[in-house]
Amino acid sequence: MRAADDILDDTFLETRAKLLEVAATLDRIDRSADEQAALSQRAKPRRTKLDDAIRILLSEGPDRAERLQRLFSRDYETDWRQQMQV
């Protein structure tokens, strides 16, 4: 396993850019909601998921990626093939 300092040094700029992109997207959503109309009922759950994801990112632990994946994944259903017509 690589040293934590090395990982941070190698990925800092890329990670910073991704975080800035997320912040800019949230800013655009908020500005638009303030100037035009609030988020629709259809869009609110998705915005809530983004807020939940940010809370996961701010939490401690080595399993944040797994928790994010679970947040954005569907629950397993035994009849998924029928539902997706596969």
Give the structural domain span for 45: 39-73
pLDDT tens digit sequence for 21-58 = 999 999 999 998 877 778 899 999 999 999 999 999 99
Asked whether residue 56 falls in the same domain as residue 27, the answer is no
Q: Would residue 25 count as lying in a domain?
A: yes
Q: Would residue 86 count as lying in a domain?
A: no
Asked whether residue 27 falls in the same domain as residue 48, the answer is no
Residue in 69, 54, 45 with CA at minimum distance from that of residue 18: 54
Per-residue pLDDT at 12 exceeds 90: yes
Q: Cβ(21)–Cβ(36) under 8 Å?
A: no
Q: Which position has the token pair 């500005």?
A: 31
E strand or H helix at 17: helix 4-35
DSSP per residue, 69-80: HHHHSPPP-TTH
Q: Would residue 83 count as lying in a domain?
A: no
Asked whether residue 23 falls in the same domain as residue 55, the answer is no
pLDDT confidence tier of residue 71, bands split at 50, 70 and 90: very high
Asked whether residue 5 falls in the same domain as residue 33, the answer is yes
> What is the domain count for the chain?
2
